Amino acid sequence: MSKSEILEKTPLAMTQLKAQLEAVSKRDTEPGFRTTKTLEHLNSFNLISQSEFNTLKKKIDELQVPRLKEEHIVKILDIMPKTVADLSVVLQGYTITVSKENLKSIVDVLLSHKGK
């Protein structure tokens, strides 16, 4: 058996996963069980579009929040917290500390999007 080697780790947002699985479903005449179940699960969420994801990701990147990595931003955009308290809960799963000012800035970016 050959060994697999991980060349790169890139976080994948639910929006991106849904788009890829939809492409697989269109390509394959009978999508697999996992593909179907995963798409059913993803359809139960109110996901933002790929263009909205890219726009919001760029805006959060531009905030230059110390120690905030791409994996954190992807998770934030998957969940779209509406308050600083909700955002704090999202980030609790990571070993990262973000100031209240930066948390508020991130939430402001997310809320400014909601109005559009």
- pLDDT given for residue 105 in this prediction: 97
* Cα–Cα distances in angstroms (integers) from residue 12 to residues 31, 35, 76, 82, 101, in the given order: 21, 16, 12, 21, 27
Question: From CA 11, how far away is CA 31, in angstroms rounded?
Answer: 24
- pLDDT given for residue 107 in this prediction: 97
Per-residue pLDDT of the chain (116 residues; tens, 9 = 90+): 678 888 888 899 999 999 999 998 888 888 888 988 999 999 998 889 999 999 999 999 999 999 999 999 999 999 999 999 999 999 998 999 999 999 999 999 999 986 55
- pLDDT given for residue 1 in this prediction: 64
